[in-house]
Amino acid sequence: MTADAVGATFAALADPTRRHVIDLLTDREAVTASELARDLPITRQAVSKHLATLADAGLVTSQRAGRETRYRLTPAPLTDARRWIDNVGAEWDARLSRLARHAKRIP
Amino acid sequence: MSDSVTRETVLDLDRDDAWRAVTDAEELEHWLADEVEIDLIEGGDLHVRFDDGRERHGTVEEVTAPERVVFRWHPVPDAELETVVRIELEPAEQGTRVIVVETGFDALPIASAEACAALNAWAWEARLEAAAGPVLIAG
């Protein structure tokens, strides 16, 4: 996963309302924006906007069923973002071994 | 996930040379990133570019020569998220010990309760599906 994609995931998660939406979606199969709005202190339109941002980050997918659109959580980007964070230690390992090699060349 | 990552190494250099190796832009370009710009004063700008083109901006927080340099940087682009990197130098038997501690991961939204709950729920579902698999085949 690219750093940009991780950035999009983080940006999507940075908003507390969107995290609340994720929380609501975690416990349910597939829900409409109106159903979500009932459990949130915001309008259905605002819920739809947040769902669109989550969808752009790949965290939510939508499916039309008749006249309604149902949303479901797709947590793969969360796993990728988590893995990316887990990789921070390996990045420092690589940098420090380059530093140690470089230090040997300093007179 | 833990809030901090700690790594260390021992350099075959005295502390003043080690200090240069971890604070001088030209030296940093040998190991930290491909391109490094650093204004080595409190509040000074830090800018690095890695070999894959990724860039990071940051701010120098503390400069205590030749012991400690601390900076904040943004681990991902387009997000107001930052971690803190502390590089400490200690005299060691065979030179100078460099200790790097990067902190702030708990404050990243991927560590939020909601993200963790979603990840756990998903992991459970995957495990249940994996558990159901062999039974179906056997049946």
User: Is the pLDDT at A59 greater than 80, yes or no?
Assistant: yes
Distance CA B84, CA B102 (A): 5
pTM: 0.83
Report residue B107 as tokens: 């404050």
pLDDT at residue A31, as a whole number: 94
Size of interface A-B (CB pairs under 8 A): 118
Tokens representing residue B30 in the block: 């040998």
Interchain proximity A85–B115, CB inside 8 Å? no
pLDDT for the residue numbered A48: 96
**Nearest chain A Cα to B99, which residue?**
A96
> What span, in angstroms and rounded, lies between the C-alpha atoms of A99 and B3?
24
Say yes or no for a CB contact (<8 Å) between B114 and A26.
yes
CB atoms A92 and B102 under 8 Å? yes
- CB-CB under 8 Å, A92 with B21: no
Residues of B in contact with A93 (CB under 8 A): 7
The residue ranking higher by pLDDT, B112 or A3, is B112
Amino acid B76 reads V
Which residue type is seen at A1? M
Q: What per-residue confidence (pLDDT) applies to A2? A: 67
The CA-atom distances, in angstroms, between A98 and each of B30, B116, B117 are 7, 34, 38
Among B47, B53, B32, which Cα is nearest to A4's? B53
Residue A1 has pLDDT above 60, yes or no: no
Q: What pLDDT was estimated at residue B92?
A: 96
Strand spans (E) along chain B: 4-11, 35-38, 45-49, 55-64, 68-73, 83-92, 95-103
Domain annotation for chain A: domains and CATH numbers: 3-105 (1.10.10.10)
Best residue in A13, A29, A72, A83 to probe B by mutation, most B CBs within 10 Å? A13
Please indicate whether, in this complex, the C-beta atoms of A103 and B18 are within 8 angstroms of each other: yes
Place B134 in a pLDDT band, splitting at 50, 70 and 90: low
The pLDDT tens digits of the residues spanning B12-56 come to 999 999 999 999 999 999 999 999 999 999 999 999 999 888 889
SS3 (DSSP) at B118: helix
Give how far A31 is from chain B: nearest CA, Å: 16
Q: How far is A20 from chain B (nearest CA, A)?
A: 7
Asked whether residue B138 carries a pLDDT value surpassing 90, the answer given is: no
**What does the pLDDT average to over B87-109?**
94
> Per-residue confidence at A77, pLDDT binned at 50, 70, 90?
very high
Higher pLDDT, B123 or B67: B67
Q: In this structure, are residues B72 and B103 in contact, taking their beta carbons and an 8 Å threshold?
A: no
CB contact under 8 A, B77 and A23: no
Query: Do the chains contact at B109 and A10, CB–CB below 8 Å?
Result: yes
Q: State mean pLDDT over A18-30.
A: 93
- Predicted pLDDT of residue B47: 96
What is the band of B129 on the pLDDT scale with cuts at 50, 70, 90? confident
Say whether pLDDT at B76 is over 60: yes
What is the mean pLDDT of the segment spanning B110-132?
83
Q: What are phi and psi of B56, to 5 degrees?
A: -135, 140
pLDDT at B57: 92
**3-state SS assignment for residue B61:** strand
Q: How confident is the model at residue B62 (pLDDT cuts 50, 70, 90)?
A: very high
Task: Give the chain A residue whose CA is nearest to the CA of B116.
Answer: A78
Interface ipTM? 0.86
How far away is chain B from the Cα of A52, in angstroms, using its nearest Cα? Answer: 18
Q: Tell me the per-residue pLDDT of A32-51, one tens digit each, with 9 for 90 and over.
A: 999 999 999 999 999 999 99
| Cβ–Cβ gap A14/B79 under 8 Å | yes
Q: Check pLDDT > 80 for residue B1.
A: no
